[in-house]
Amino acid sequence: MQRWNRKKTHFPALASLFVVLLVCSILYIERSIQQIDEDPDHHHHHSHQHNQEVPSVTYVKPNRDRSANRDPEVLDRYSRCNSTRKYSGRKIRWVDPKVESSQRRQSLESCDVFSGKWVFDNVSYPLYQESSCPYMSDQLACHKHGRSNLGYQYWRWQPHNCNLKRWNVTEMWEKLRGKRLMFVGDSLNRGQWISMVCMLQSVIPADKRSMTPNAHLTIFSAEEYNATVEFLWAPLLVESNSDDPVNHRLDERIIRPDSVLKHSSKWGHADILVFNTYLWWRQGPVKLSWSDEEHGICEELDGLGAMELAMGAWADWVASEADHHKKQVFFITMSPTHLWSREWQPGSEGNCYNEKAPIEDAGYWGSGSDIPTMQMVERVLSTVSSKVSVLNITHLSDYRRDGHPSIYRKFWETLSPEQLANPSSYSDCIHWCLPGVPDVWNELLFHFL
């Protein structure tokens, strides 16, 4: 050190400055690399982050008590982001539930009822007639809207090594006696709710049943059983600007990623909960409006990353508030789409239009069943596995290219002559005809209740 100090006195001033800058640069680079290596989430950032600057990860507890926080402005379809900045890296840290033994949930996989094949059965199916259900949706009533081939109604799901419990409407009502069954989610979950109502309503006298008008929460009531079957519109699970059940077609999706308060204040009172979310996260980037942000400042994140944040806030509610001795919670995995016929018929350029039978290839897996999303959902659900039963409807539904409304439904927008000349261009290959595939989802629910 002394020798270096002696030599330093003979350096020109410019050389001395160069050495100092070089040393500082090396130290800065080493420190940056060390910070990246120590970041446990560095390898889990989503593909939307291509800049060189890695946001520092901070963990945010979901906002479950507004009395303890600044009351944020409620999001609705008129909400806007005054400014948008890049995603800061904040993540939801949800409560880690205690590992509790649950014979009911452990026994769910004694036979894998989600692995099997579709069997044509025009004796036992359909479980109800489309025209006999007064609560049928025009979005799902395919026969009413011109579909003449009714083969989609006659397929039964047959697990490989066991049988599904046979549907019994009276037994189901006894399971629901004195209880509230609530479906929470998007239009696909609403379809499953309508399916359940149609499967149940026939044994209830007309003067002993009622349906509230379509709203954020819609309720079918059966007086004799003191029971309700309800649907709560919450397509993104967390609070969002898309929470109006009718007017939710917006150019910009804004969510409150750390708050389920708006919806949980309603779903928290149900005895049996059936959740879903998926489709709306595939429609491009999502704006994040955190509960503690003011002045309309938003962050932007890709759909998968935003969905993971929302699932985290939901999981926090489940872990903290859902006593599995009093409440049964189910999560429905993603409902697949059939938008590209080339996936099951190489060389074709259509979609689900004019498909009349299920896919027979047992190993088929379409792009409508997004594997990264499935993996993320599985990771989140594993943290609340003692409190949530998973109904994995994805693969079994993936075979059912024939089960969608296609062109046989009511379309609220006017179709152009060009569309009408090309049916594939406006076919609905997302939702499901009723009676049909969602009835099987409800048979699975009945099997596990």
Give tens-digit pLDDT for 197-227: 999 999 999 999 999 998 899 999 999 999 9
CA distances from 161 to 107, 110, 113, 158, 362 (A): 15, 10, 8, 9, 15
Q: Is residue 439 among the annotated active site residues?
A: no
- Closest Cα to residue 137, out of 195, 184, 182? 195
165 class by beta-carbon count within 10 Å (0-12 exposed, 13-18 middle, 19+ buried): middle
Q: How many CB atoms lie within 10 A of CB 102?
A: 15
Residue identified by tokens 């069954």 is: 181
Mean pLDDT throughout 124-153? 97
Q: Tokens at residue 166, please?
A: 């046979």
Candidate list 187, 335, 369, 397, residue with the active-site label: 187
Pairing outcome for strands 59-60 and 91-92: parallel
Least confident of 2-16, 67-81, 175-189, 350-364: 2-16
Q: Provide the pLDDT for residue 92.
A: 84
Q: Is residue 131 among the annotated active site residues?
A: no
Pairing outcome for strands 272-275 and 328-332: parallel
The region that residue 101 occupies, defined by phi over 0 for left and psi between -120 and 50 for alpha, beta otherwise, is beta
The answer to whether residue 14 scores a pLDDT higher than 50 is no
The answer to whether residue 362 scores a pLDDT higher than 50 is yes
57 band by pLDDT with thresholds 50, 70 and 90 = low
Backbone dihedral angles phi then psi of residue 185, each to the nearest 5 degrees: 160, -140
Supply the angle between the helices 303-321 and 371-382 in degrees, to the nearest 10: 20
- Of 88-92, 245-249, 426-430, the range with the highest mean pLDDT is 426-430
Which DSSP helix (H) or strand (E) runs through 129?
none
Q: Provide the pLDDT for residue 26.
A: 41
Provide the whole-model pTM: 0.84
Could you report the per-residue pLDDT of 255-306, keeping only the tens digit for each? 999 999 999 999 999 999 999 999 999 888 999 999 988 778 999 999 999 9
Please give the Cα distance from 102 to 110 (Å, whole number).
Answer: 14
Please give the Cα distance from 265 to 160 (Å, whole number).
Answer: 41
Q: Is residue 431 among the annotated active site residues?
A: yes
Q: In the chain, helix, strand, coil percent, each to 5? A: 35, 15, 50
Mean pLDDT throughout 221-244? 97
Mean pLDDT throughout 396-417? 96
Q: Provide the pLDDT for residue 354.
A: 96
Termini Cα distance of the chain: 77
Supply the angle between the helices 437-448 and 187-200 in degrees, to the nearest 10: 70
* All residues at 6 or more sequence positions from 326 whose CB lies less than 8 Å from its CB, including other chains: 271
Q: Under a CB-based contact definition with an 8 Å cutoff, are residues 255 and 238 in contact? A: yes
Please give the Cα distance from 307 to 276 (Å, whole number).
Answer: 12
Look at residue 24 and give its three-state secondary structure: helix
Mean pLDDT throughout 158-186? 97
Q: Under a CB-based contact definition with an 8 Å cutoff, are residues 97 and 105 in contact? A: no
Q: Under a CB-based contact definition with an 8 Å cutoff, are residues 274 and 330 in contact? A: yes
- Give bridge partners of residue 120 from the DSSP assignment: 155
Please give the Cα distance from 72 to 270 (Å, whole number).
Answer: 26
- Closest Cα to residue 405, out of 199, 157, 130, 145? 145
The answer to whether residue 69 scores a pLDDT higher than 80 is no
Q: Provide the pLDDT for residue 78.
A: 86
Please give the Cα distance from 123 to 208 (Å, whole number).
Answer: 30
Look at residue 315 and give its three-state secondary structure: helix
Question: For 66-88, b where at least 16 C-beta lie within 10 A, e where not — what string?
Answer: eeeeeebeebeeebebeeeeebe
Q: Under a CB-based contact definition with an 8 Å cutoff, are residues 200 and 169 in contact? A: yes
Q: Provide the pLDDT for residue 115.
A: 95
Could you report the per-residue pLDDT of 18-54, keeping only the tens digit for each? 444 444 444 443 333 333 233 333 333 333 333 334 4
387 class by beta-carbon count within 10 Å (0-12 exposed, 13-18 middle, 19+ buried): buried
Candidate list 263, 324, 338, 431, residue with the active-site label: 431
Mean pLDDT throughout 141-168? 96
Q: Percent of the chain beyond pLDDT 70?
A: 82
Q: Under a CB-based contact definition with an 8 Å cutoff, are residues 41 and 312 in contact? A: no
